[in-house]
Amino acid sequence: MRAVDIIIKKRDGLALSKAEIEFFVNGYTRGDIPDYQASAWAMAVLLQGMDAEETTNLTLAMAATGDTLDLSSVVDIAVDKHSSGGVGDKTSIAVVPMVRACGLPVGKMSGRGLGFSGGTLDKLESIPGFRTNLTKDEFLAQLKSLGMVLTGQSVDLAPADGKLYALRDVTGTVPSIPLIASSIMSKKIAAGAQAIVLDVKTGNGAFMETLEDARRLATLMVSIGELSGRNVVALLSDMNQPLGVEVGNALEMKEAILTLRGEGPEDFVAHCLEVASEMLVLGKRAGSKAEARAMAEDALANGGGLEYLRKLIEAQGGDVSYIDHPEKLPVAPLRVNVEAPRAGYVAEVHARTVGETAVGLGAGRMKKGDPIDPAVGISVLVKVGQAVEAGRPIFVIHARKAEDVEPARQALLEAVRIGDEPVEPLPLFYGLIE
């Protein structure tokens, strides 16, 4: 078998066999197939596509290139969740303790923020002492003892994907739906997931800007689940405006705590309940969605979720006093309101612009390894469809440096659109693919 023949086959729009995909992935991971062949192949995949079977074979081949976790001795069904990334998305921090409180163990590996999109690890690390670098043994031990882990990837999951992603980033081959799907699914499968709730976001603050692309990605990942014997469902959720109120690491950590206290913003609470319900059904803790939803609501109402967040923070070395007193979380020195320039109906709160503005304040990174400031960020006080009076605060800028305030204000005033005509609120979800 020769790499060039596999490239040619894909270039000509033909489907690659399992053996061909394994040859290519393994050869590339070992370094026998050079970057210049892999990038030509990736471009051919981007332009010619891959069917569900090929994408499944790619996913499984990449998952097999590194460490794999077998959670079957630790949990009865390994349920995972994955969000495709967005602005204000602190869902995992609230949902993992919620479902744990309902009896479903979850061992989850999360990521860091990049560009306009935030990351769970960065948010958790605003609590002093909290460790996100558990070893594989620590991961398994804590999942067994506590039934809950939220950490970074300390094991080498799907190194083929890591290597290929770095190459795609510099060769214009990122936005291929089969390559995105296999990248996400290979890591989840290597991490031992037997069932996965995917939260595929769509809108200007998501990687899939159109609903059509989000639906294609979600459908393909559900098919990969089916073809690889994993139970996968995908929620299609809105990311045209930020999720919840807070955007920024400590701000979002605080919002997750408040949510588990029953004081969360309506849209974020509804989002968490939906994700948690799907997880409880997949994990066979509930016989129906309705039952699952009632359980998840209880976990918010009775403080069960909050109690488990406390246990999670404690188990991973964090200072639990921050859970009881979230006002201890880092606070930015400058807090400046941005007021509505006119009265009317909010027609847009452009999520990507809000995310990028938060990055500009220091809340995120332009490239991997950049430092972040946990305290800074933006509170988004309005939602699409809402009526506002002129002069009423619509954002709060949380800034470290005075010179950052004015550019952020200008950007936020461009992110928001207020009109005379009433506007329908944006839906939270566009559907469920299962």
Please provide the DSSP assignment of 158-174 as one string. -HHHHHHHHHHHHTT--
Question: Considering 187, 271, 352, 365, which one is annotated as catalytic?
Answer: 187
Q: How many other C-beta atoms can be found within 10 angstroms of the C-beta atom of residue 270? A: 13
Q: Which residue's entry shows tokens 């495709």?
A: 84
Does residue 183 have an active-site annotation? yes
| Smallest separation (angstroms) from a second copy to the CB of 278 | 35
Asked if residue 35 binds a second copy (CB under 8 A), the reply is yes
| Smallest separation (angstroms) from a second copy to the CB of 36 | 4
Asked if residue 46 binds a second copy (CB under 8 A), the reply is yes
Residues 214-242, buried b or exposed e (16+ Cβ, 10 A)?
A: bbbbbbbbbbbbeeeebbbbbbbbbbbbb
Nearer of residues 47 and 343 to a second copy, judged by Cβ: 47
Q: Which stretch binds a second copy (CB under 8 A): 41-49, 117-125, 195-203, 303-311?
A: 41-49
Q: How far apart are CA 352 and CA 204, in angstroms?
A: 6
Does residue 161 have an active-site annotation? yes
Asked if residue 417 binds a second copy (CB under 8 A), the reply is no
Q: How many other C-beta atoms can be found within 10 angstroms of the C-beta atom of residue 3? A: 19
Q: Write the CB contacts of 195 (distance below 8 Å, at least 6 apart in sequence).
A: 77, 78, 79, 80, 230, 231, 232, 282, 283
Nearer of residues 173 and 316 to a second copy, judged by Cβ: 173
Q: Which stretch binds a second copy (CB under 8 A): 4-12, 349-357, 373-381, 409-417?
A: 4-12
| Smallest separation (angstroms) from a second copy to the CB of 152 | 27
Q: How far apart are CA 130 and CA 108, in angstroms?
A: 15
Asked if residue 4 binds a second copy (CB under 8 A), the reply is yes
Does residue 187 have an active-site annotation? yes
| Smallest separation (angstroms) from a second copy to the CB of 216 | 17
Residues 171, 219, 337, 386: which binds a second copy (CB under 8 A)? 171
Q: What angle do CA 69, 75, 80 make, to 5 degrees?
A: 65
Nearer of residues 3 and 281 to a second copy, judged by Cβ: 3
Question: Considering 89, 122, 161, 199, which one is annotated as catalytic?
Answer: 161
Q: How far apart are CA 433 and CA 414, in angstroms?
A: 34
Q: What angle do CA 221, 227, 231 make, to 5 degrees?
A: 65
Asked if residue 26 binds a second copy (CB under 8 A), the reply is no
CB 341 within 8 A of CB 413: yes
Of 172-211, binders to a second copy (CB under 8 A) are: 172-173
Q: What angle do CA 113, 405, 381 make, to 5 degrees?
A: 70
CB 406 within 8 A of CB 338: no
Nearer of residues 3 and 104 to a second copy, judged by Cβ: 3
Token couple for 47: 């332009």
Asked if residue 261 binds a second copy (CB under 8 A), the reply is no
Question: Considering 10, 90, 123, 168, which one is annotated as catalytic?
Answer: 168
CB 189 within 8 A of CB 228: yes
Asked if residue 47 binds a second copy (CB under 8 A), the reply is yes
Residues that contact a second copy, how many (by CB under 8 A): 24
Does residue 311 have an active-site annotation? no
Token couple for 253: 């950590």
**Binding positions for a second copy, rule: CB under 8 A:** 3-5, 7-8, 11, 34-40, 42-44, 46-48, 167, 170-173
Residues forming the active site: 82, 161, 168, 183, 187
